[in-house]
Amino acid sequence: MRRILPMLFPLMLGACGQAAAPVTPASLLRGYVRGIDLSEARGAELAGVQFRDRDGTVKPAAQIAADHHFDWVRVRLMIDPGGDDGKNYALLQDLPYVKAAVKDAKSRGMKVLLDLHYSHWWADPGNQWTPARWKSLSTADLRVAVHDYTADVITQLRAAGAAPDMVQVGNEINGGMLWEPGRIVNDDMTTFASLVNAGVQGVRDAGGPTPPPVMIHIAKIGNAAETTAWYQAFRKAGGQFDVIGLSYYPMWHGDFQNVSDTVKALRAEYPQTPVLLAETAYYWDTNEVGYKDAQVPYPQTPAGQLAYLKDLNATIRAAGGQGIFYWGAAWSQSPRWLTSSWTDDDASRRSLFDDDATATPAIDGLN
């Protein structure tokens, strides 16, 4: 059901360079964020994985995270998730799954970042595929669908006592989202920004009297000037955001000086806008592919993983960033819950739980 008249929709979106004034103050995001992505944890636990604290005590993964001072949980949400070959590729996160995961995190006193992928598949710089249910829509109807879907998700979560405390509209959307209509072509962000704004408006329409802040998340961190220019171009195209989210992985995004320079540049350009790392991770064991050219020379050991996270945390704080989310934290014993044709399960080498599902020392890396 459409909640707004289509003829009014473009005016609400501000897609022609006139971004509406944000109704969600960034000041709602208070304090330094110690975040952990537990998108896989519920699926792993349902499949029989028993997560263990450092002392060997069996506990839910979210409780272990809370006991080690993580105060935010990030959970992705997919649209009709899964691969065309019937394999789940760790994409377990439909709306019922996410409702349960968010309620569980909030019951443990943690806040929640909802990560909307707007895809049935992984959304990242190389993958932003429109789900089957929307493929035949015109761009105008796609904007309406994005708005209504987003508003419905927020409404259902609020009704279930699982209202998110912050929402990502899109995941690593450097090159746009909902390809092809939403792909950024020749630096033209007009259609892309209008689709993002549809999601932003959905969050604000359904978020109650104090809607949650909206994060716009990209993985373009290796160059401070280019990263800042991306947000400038997005804003110029009418794009709206309350929070800036970045991905940082040393094997792809350079050294700590790069991430420090990027955060400082964004804080200078947008002094009232929080900047966070929405994703990072590092290896507790030698990864199966190997990144010989990784810019941060930490050993791929439990001690090296801890040192990486502690030093990165200090770097982000010093640069003026407002927090970090650790990605893929519960990616342990994946043969129990992951069906895929991948021959390399690289993510299992950089989780915060080892092959016995026991927390690695880096569980304390953001303290």
Both tokens assigned to 152: 């419905």
Q: Given 40, 45, 180, 279, which residue is catalytic?
A: 279
The count of residues in the chain is: 367
The one-letter amino acid code at 96 reads P
Q: Any catalytic annotation for residue 172?
A: yes
CB atoms within 10 A of CB 179: 15
Q: Any catalytic annotation for residue 40?
A: no
d(CA 165, CA 176): 24
**CA 165-167-170 angle, 5° bins:** 165
d(CA 309, CA 81): 31
DSSP secondary structure of 255-285: -HHHHHHHHHHHHHH-TTS-EEEEE----SS
Tokens 């995190």 correspond to 105
Tokens 């955060």 correspond to 263
Residue 174's closest CA among 123, 129, 208? Answer: 123
d(CA 74, CA 106): 11
For the chain, the 3-state helix, strand and coil shares in percent, each to the nearest 5, are 40, 15, 50
Q: Given 40, 45, 172, 226, which residue is catalytic?
A: 172
d(CA 176, CA 266): 20
Give me the active site residues, please: 172, 279
